[in-house]
Each structure stands twice: as C-alpha cells, then as structure tokens.
Amino acid sequence: MKSILFGAAVAALFAVPATAQTVHAAPIAAPVSSNAMLRVGTEVPLRLLEELTTKGKKLRVGQRFRLETTEAVMVQGVQVIPAGSPAVGEITDVRNKGMWGKSGHLGARLLYVTVNGRQIRLSGAFDDKGVAGGVGAVAVSAIVFLPAGFFMTGTSARVPVGAMVKGFIDEDVQLSIQASAPAPLTVQAPAPVVVTPAAAGIGK
C-alpha cells in the first residue's frame, strides 16, 4: 500500500513541469475606454476683435472685450473648437497717461471661449508691453517717455484690432468622442519549475 502511495506521489511530482509548459502568454484586456478629454493647458490661438487703448480715458477695470479663435483646436484628429469661435477677455489694470511723461498702461486677461453655447474657461494674460502672461505676446505700440516736465505727457497704451493673443484651456472638458484605446499588454508566462528527484528527496 505504501509503495502505491509513493508511486502516485512521484508521478504527480514529475507531472508539474508538463503542466507548466502548457501555459502560454496571454494578452491582458485594455481598460474600458472612456470619452476623450479636452485637457487643461491646450493652446488656443486668438485674435483681438476690437482696439484696447487708454486714449480718451474711457477704458475701465472689469470692462470686457471680444476675441475669436484663429485656428481650430483638434483632439484625436477631431475639431472640437472651430476657427472663428467667439471668446471674451477682461481688463484687469488701467493707468492713463499723465504729466511728467507718465505713459498709459493696460493689462488684460482671458475669460472663456464659447463653443456650441458652452463657455470653456481660458487662462492667459497680456499688457501693453507685449507680454502675454509668459506664454505669448501681442502686437502693441511702443511706450515713449518724453523729457521730464510738468506739461509733458506720455503716450497712451494701445493694443490694436487683430493683435494675436495666446490662450490656454483652463478646465478639463469631456468630449462626445471615444478616447483612443491603448494597445493590449502581453504578459509572458513564467518559466516552468523543474523538480528533480534529488531536489524532492527521492532516493535517499
């Protein structure tokens, strides 16, 4: 009876490598794809539709102005923001020209672009020195300081119609298109473990 049990144990022991050798590499299913996203930081090229100037001292902090996109914004080859989409910015700083050669200054920031009735938040800013928040520039007139004198005044700040402004998406927006599915991963099967009679203590 003992010899029968011993024989069965040896047969089972040597059957392990054969079973291990039948294991093959199997692909792991890719995660369920979700909708694509318009991500924060996506660049949005814009053009100013109206002149901004401190001339006439009519410009006010909080005043809004109009822009439009100059190029379509694409995600996975699909147009999500068409060229010509309306956008809005806001004046954040105004300094009118004055005596002693004081020149005018204006600052502005981008608020949103409208697509299919939805307002998508934008980030980005610019001023009359042509600096757009460190991420772009606008065409502006130079500031000239005249000789000092009480009756001498500087020039007005001015950003002309058509000035190019670089904006960026400021919120993640889920789109109605499917995200591109990643390729499935392939995991290699582990090498079979071969157990020899010596390792199993057989024959001692």
Asked if residue 154 lies in contact with residue 141, where contact means CB atoms within 8 angstroms, the answer is no
95 part of a folded domain: yes
Of 160, 156, 8, 186, whose CA–CA distance to 96 is shortest?
156
> What CATH number is given to the structural domain containing 155?
2.40.128.260
Would residue 141 count as lying in a domain?
yes
pLDDT by 10-residue block (mean), the chain, 204 residues:
49 48 49 79 97 91 97 95 97 79 86 96 80 36 38 75 95 85 55 61 54
pLDDT at 147: 44
Please state the pTM of the whole predicted model.
0.62
Residues 6 or more apart from 177 whose CB is under 8 A from it? 35, 36, 75, 76, 78
Assess if residue 187 is contained within a domain: no
Q: What number of CA atoms fall less than 13 Å from residue 198's CA on the CB side?
A: 0
Please give the pLDDT value at position 160.
93
Cα angle: 24, vertex 29, 33; to 5 degrees: 165
Tokens at residue 16, please? Answer: 């392990």
For the chain, the domain total comes to 1
Collapsing DSSP to helix, strand or coil, 19 comes out as helix
- The pLDDT tens digits of the residues spanning 150-193 come to 344 578 888 999 999 999 999 999 998 877 655 555 555 566 66
Q: What pLDDT, on the 0 to 100 scale, is given for residue 135?
A: 33
| Structural domain for 89, as ranges | 35-177
What is the pLDDT at residue 177?
A: 82
- Let me know if residue 192 belongs to a domain: no
Residue 58 lies in a domain: yes
Residue 129 forms part of a structural domain? yes
Separation CA 38–CA 65 (nearest Å): 25
Provide the pLDDT for residue 192: 66
Q: Are 122 and 112 in contact (CB under 8 A)?
A: yes
